Amino acid sequence: MKVVRYMILVAAAAVMVFPLAWLLLSAMKTTAEIQAYPFALPGRISLRNFIEAWRVGRFAGHFLSSAVVSVCSVGGLLLLGSMAGFAFARFRIRGGNLLFAVFMIALVLPVESIVFSLRDLTETLGIEDRWPALIGPYIALEMPLAIYVFRSFFASIPREMEECARLDGCNLWQMYWRVFLPMAAQAISVVGILVFLAVWNEFLLANFLIGPNAEQFQTLPAAFNRFYGRRTSDLNLIFAGLSIYIAPAVAVYLAFSRTITRSLAGAVKG
Amino acid sequence: MNAASAIQNPRSKIQKLKSVGPVLMILPALAVFVLFVVVPFVETVRLSFCRWDGILEKTWAGVANYRRLAGDTTFRHALLNNCIYWWITLVSEVSVGLLLAALIVRCRRNKTFFRLALSVPLLIALVASAVLWRQLLGRIPCFISPLLVRLGVVSEPVTWLNPTILVVSVSLVSGWAYCGFYMLLFSAALERIPDELREAARVDGASEWQLFRYIELPLLRSIGTVAFLLCTTGAFRAFDLFWVMAGPMLEPQSEVAATFVVKEAVTRLERGYSAAIAVVVVALVVTMGYLLSRLTSRAKELEY
């Protein structure tokens, strides 16, 4: 029984990791080698493909775009979401429940229903093809998740805390900024990680809100898709580019795995 | 008395703030949300009653777009594909995730290692997974092909990337990408069941299967409903994998709702029709989400 259990788990782990190992090995081969012997080991270990792909795909600029967009989105979201979550959790607001319900509907909203209207909107606002065109919608779309997590977290803090803060003469803002927010490290890390992953990997909006006229501002998912479309026959560059693209995510994951796995599971528990 | 009024004073101040302050704290979040989600959505609904190529004047079209949609076979095909994707991912994501979680919780050692290895794909962008699997699937034989021939789905042996069965391939890749998520979800719930309970059942002569079926599964009901909800609403929003794995040659038979919406708007410049499709999909997803969440809130939480 125990042996069967381990065998299934090892097999599953192998299926999960195999494509990534194959990717890394293929990234060191030439296109001809990949075509002829897709599953053989590379003839020699070389980083040439990576350097070439980095240059041809202009990865430096796209990494910068992704970093700016993700950091701004996460930062803005943590601030606005925690404020709103705090207000929802600790105060009775007229129409608050209805408002909260509206936010929650947006949790399941298919993004394709607003992507083209968003494109028109950013053109009206004059921010099309620029980073703010992505940051605004990302903050708005992830807002329901942030409010949900922060609300459940702040609601679990005992009432005495709030009363103490009042007796000490805190006003509303101080109560939020000095008392409640510093206690919310756990909620902040859950929201931060989930939103960062979602934004870093988001494709549909990234592809249309920063269009082909502003390639240099595109974030990684859209840029990589374009790179792939243009270089379909240069398999060595595609595999090397793919490795460059996913390496940071995997590295971050291995470094913070405990926090991340806990966040992913914790978010749904609320 | 003095001390009492000193306490009273800041309190009454707070009381006043209570009415305006909290609203002010929600306002920025609400403003961003209204600007970038509500306004575009309302605009989409409005567009769905118009005819528009995205450039020239919009003309009012009434319900013409919806009437056209009712008779559109590609749309029916797309929704069917969404359903197939939904049913397969219920197995390849949720059930596999549950199975793995149940196996891992029984391990004495290496729990962390297995959880880590099985959830690595979660971190990889779907675009990257799609490109990677497109390359990989093009190089391995389609072992379900004989089965599909026998079932009459296809007439002759096919590859994984054949448009007719692309939805199956995508669902399996989606399982690879997401089963780790459900594994983590169920793991968290399973870890909360005390080990003594399992030991007690084993002492009483329960088999591992009985232990799973009669003790663990009932306790997973509420988290299971959440998983079902996530998988279902996710299935009708799927875009990235289909778009990238099909490549530029997205055939009508491998279309899903989201790719159909994008194609109508971008390739055929039918913004009004595209909006109508999007509105129908939203209505569908929100209705399903609502019904399922009602189910969740009714599911009784069992705890030990």
Give the pLDDT confidence of A147-171 residue by residue, as tens digits: 988 998 898 888 888 888 888 888 8
Quick: pLDDT tens for B165-203.
888 889 999 999 999 989 988 988 888 888 888 888 888
Place of tokens 């088999």: B207
What contacts B189, CB < 8 A, 6 or more positions away?
B219, B220, B223
Q: Which residues of B touch A139 (CB under 8 A)?
A: 32, 36
Ranges of chain A with pLDDT below 50 = 269-270
How close is the nearest chain B Cα to the Cα of A252, in Å? 9
Q: Residue B29: which of A83, A166, A266 has the nearest Cβ?
A: A83
Q: Which residue of B has its CA nearest to A90?
A: B22
Q: Determine how β-strand B50-51 pairs with β-strand B59-60.
A: antiparallel
A:210-249 residues touching chain B, CB 8 A cutoff: 220-221, 224-225, 228-229, 235, 238-239, 242, 245-246, 249
Decide if A5 and B107 are in contact by the 8 Å CB cutoff: yes
Q: Residue A249: which of B32, B100, B123 has the nearest Cβ?
A: B123
- Mean pLDDT of the residues in chain B: 83
Q: Which residues of A touch B97 (CB under 8 A)?
A: none
How close is the nearest chain B Cα to the Cα of A181, in Å? 13
Decide if A110 and B282 are in contact by the 8 Å CB cutoff: yes
CB proximity A149 to B under 8 Å: no
Residue B249 has pLDDT above 70, yes or no: no
pLDDT value for A206: 92
CB proximity B137 to A under 8 Å: no
pLDDT value for B207: 85
CB proximity B55 to A under 8 Å: no
Alpha-carbon torsion (B199, B201, B204, B208), positive or negative: negative
Question: Which residue of A1, A35, A88, A117 to mutate against B (max B Cβ within 10 Å)?
Answer: A117
pLDDT value for B299: 54
Q: Residue A221: which of B26, B125, B275 has the nearest Cβ?
A: B125
Q: Specify the higher pLDDT residue, B9 or A110.
A: A110
Q: Residue A110: which of B7, B28, B285 has the nearest Cβ?
A: B285
Instruction: Using only the alpha carbons of chain A, give its radius of gyration.
Output: 23
Q: Which residues of A touch B279 (CB under 8 A)?
A: 113
How close is the nearest chain B Cα to the Cα of A27, in Å? 11
Q: Which residues of B touch A87 (CB under 8 A)?
A: 21-23, 25-26
Quick: pLDDT tens for B77-127.
899 999 999 999 999 999 999 999 999 988 888 888 888 888 888 888 889
Decide if A121 and B39 are in contact by the 8 Å CB cutoff: yes
Decide if A112 and B278 are in contact by the 8 Å CB cutoff: yes
pLDDT value for A249: 80
CB proximity B166 to A under 8 Å: no
Give the A:B interface size as CB pairs under 8 Å. Answer: 253
CB atoms within 10 A of CB A175: 22
Decide if A204 and B262 are in contact by the 8 Å CB cutoff: yes
pLDDT value for A264: 65
Phi/psi for A28 (5° steps) reads -100, 0
CB proximity B136 to A under 8 Å: yes
Contact A268, B127 (CB under 8 A): no
Of A231-240, B36-45, B119-128, B280-289, the least confident: A231-240
A:155-184 residues touching chain B, CB 8 A cutoff: 166-167, 169, 171-173, 176
Would you say the ipTM is above 0.85?
yes
Decide if B133 and A238 are in contact by the 8 Å CB cutoff: no
What contacts B16, CB < 8 A, 6 or more positions away?
none
Q: Which residue of B has its CA nearest to A246?
A: B124
CB proximity B226 to A under 8 Å: yes
